[in-house]
Amino acid sequence: MLEAKGVTKAFGSLVAVNNVSLAVAPGELRAIIGPNGAGKTTFFNMITGFFPPTAGEIVVEGRDITRFTAQQRVALGMARTFQITEIFPELTARENVRIAVEVASGYRLRPWLSRTARTRVRERIEEIIASTGLTKQADRRVGELSHGDQRAAEIAMALALKPRILLLDEPTAGMGEQETYHIASLIRRLHKHSGYTIVLIEHDMRVVFNLADRITVLDQGSLLAEGTPTEIADNPAVQAAYLGSAQ
Amino acid sequence: MSTTTADTVFERPGQRSWLPTVAIWVVLLTVPLWLPWIGGYTALAGRVLVLGLAAMALNFLLGFTGVMSFGHAAYFGLGCYGTGLTLKYLSDSTPLALVAGILLGGIAGTLFGALIVRRRGVYFAMVTIAFGQICYYVAYRWNSLTGGDDGLRGFQRQPLHIGPWLIDIQNNPVLFYYFIAAVFAICIGVMAFLLRSPFGRTLLAIRENERRARFLGIPVERHIWLSFSISCFFAAAAGALYALLNNFADPMTLHYTLSGEIVIMAVMGGMRAFWGPLVGAAVFVVLQDYISSMTVNWMSFIGLLFVLVVLFFPRGLLGFVRAYSEK
pLDDT tens-digit profile of B5-19? 444 556 555 556 778
Identity of the residue in A80, A109, A154 whose CB atom sits nearest the CB atom of B199: A109
Considering only alpha carbons, which residue of chain B is nearest residue A75? B217
Phi, psi at A212, each rounded to 5°: -70, 145
The ipTM value here is 0.85
User: Cα distance from A70 to chain B (closest Cα, Å)?
Assistant: 6
Phi, psi at A15, each rounded to 5°: -90, 105
pLDDT tens-digit profile of B90-102? 988 999 999 999 9
| Distance (Å, whole) CA B315 – CA B304 | 17
Among B66, B212, B116, which Cα is nearest to A156's? B212
- Domain annotation for chain B: domains and CATH numbers: 6-325 (1.10.3470)
Q: Return the percentage of chain B with pLDDT > 70, whole number.
A: 94
Residues of A in contact with B211 (CB under 8 A): 82, 86
SS3 for chain B is CCCCCHHHHCCCCCCCCHHHHHHHHHHHHHHHHHHHHHCCCHHHHHHHHHHHHHHHHHHHHHCCCCCCCCCCHHHHHHHHHHHHHHHHHHCCCHHHHHHHHHHHHHHHHHHHHHHHCCCCHHHHHHHHHHHHHHHHHHHHHCHHHHCHHHCECCCCCCCEEECCEEECCCCCHHHHHHHHHHHHHHHHHHHHHHHCCHHHHHHHHHHHCHHHHHHCCCCHHHHHHHHHHHHHHHHHHHHHHHHHHHCCECHHHHCHHHHHHHHHHHHHHCCCCCCHHHHHHHHHHHHHHHHHCCCCCHHHHHHHHHHHHHHHCCCHHHHHHHHHHCC
Mean pLDDT of B232-243: 97
| Distance (Å, whole) CA B230 – CA A28 | 46
Q: Is residue A80 within a helix (H) or strand (E), and if so which, with residue range?
A: strand A78-81
| Distance (Å, whole) CA B9 – CA B203 | 10
- With an 8 Å Cβ cutoff, is B34 touching chain A? no
Q: What is the SS3 assignment for A157?
A: helix
Per-residue buried b or exposed e for B166-186, using 16+ beta carbons within 10 Å of the residue's own CB: eeebbeebebbbbbbbebbee
Cβ partners under 8 Å of residue A207, min gap 6: A172, A180, A184
pTM of the model: 0.89
Is residue A189 within 8 A of residue A159, CB to CB? The reply is: no
Residues of A engaging B, defined by a Cβ cutoff of 8 Å? 48, 70-71, 74-75, 79-80, 82, 86-92, 95, 98-100, 102-104, 107-113, 139, 141, 144, 154, 157, 161
Q: Residue ranges of the alpha helices (H) in A85-228? A: 93-104, 115-131, 147-160, 177-192, 205-211
Identity of the residue in A86, A90, A108 whose CB atom sits nearest the CB atom of B211: A86
Considering only alpha carbons, which residue of chain B is nearest residue A78? B215
**Does A89 sit within 8 Å of B209, measured CB to CB?**
yes
Is residue A47 within 8 A of residue A64, CB to CB? The reply is: no
| Distance (Å, whole) CA B67 – CA B83 | 28
β-partners of residue A8 are A55
**Mean per-residue pLDDT over chain B, rounded:** 89
Q: In which residue ranges of chain A is CATH 3.40.50.300 found?
A: 1-77+163-247
Residues of A in contact with B214 (CB under 8 A): 70-71
Cβ partners under 8 Å of residue A247, min gap 6: none
pLDDT tens-digit profile of B191-207? 999 999 999 999 999 99
Q: Return per-residue pLDDT of chain A as tens, 247 residues.
A: 899 999 999 998 889 999 999 999 999 999 999 888 888 999 999 998 888 999 999 999 989 999 998 889 998 999 999 988 899 999 999 999 999 999 999 999 988 899 999 999 999 999 999 999 999 999 999 999 998 999 999 999 999 999 999 999 999 988 888 889 999 999 999 999 888 999 999 988 888 999 999 999 999 889 999 999 999 988 888 888 876 654 4
Among B232, B237, B263, B230, which Cα is nearest to B79's? B237
Cβ partners under 8 Å of residue B119, min gap 6: B127
User: Cα distance from B207 to chain A (closest Cα, Å)?
Assistant: 9
Cβ partners under 8 Å of residue A218, min gap 6: A17, A20, A32, A33, A34, A38, A39, A40, A43, A224
Specify the amino acid at residue A226.
Answer: E
Is residue B235 within 8 A of residue B75, CB to CB? The reply is: yes
Phi, psi at A31, each rounded to 5°: -105, 140
How does DSSP classify residue A194?
T
**Does B214 sit within 8 Å of A98, measured CB to CB?**
no
- Calculate the CA dihedral of residues A210, A213, A214, A220 and round it to 10 degrees: -40
- With an 8 Å Cβ cutoff, is B14 touching chain A? no
β-partners of residue A168 are A81, A200
Which residue of A83, A84, A108, A113 is the best one to mutate when testing the B interface, meaning the one whose CB has the most B CBs within 10 A?
A108
Residues of A in contact with B217 (CB under 8 A): 70-71, 74-75, 103-104, 108, 161
Specify the CATH class of A1-77+163-247 in words.
alpha beta
Among B76, B42, B74, B32, which Cα is nearest to B56's? B76
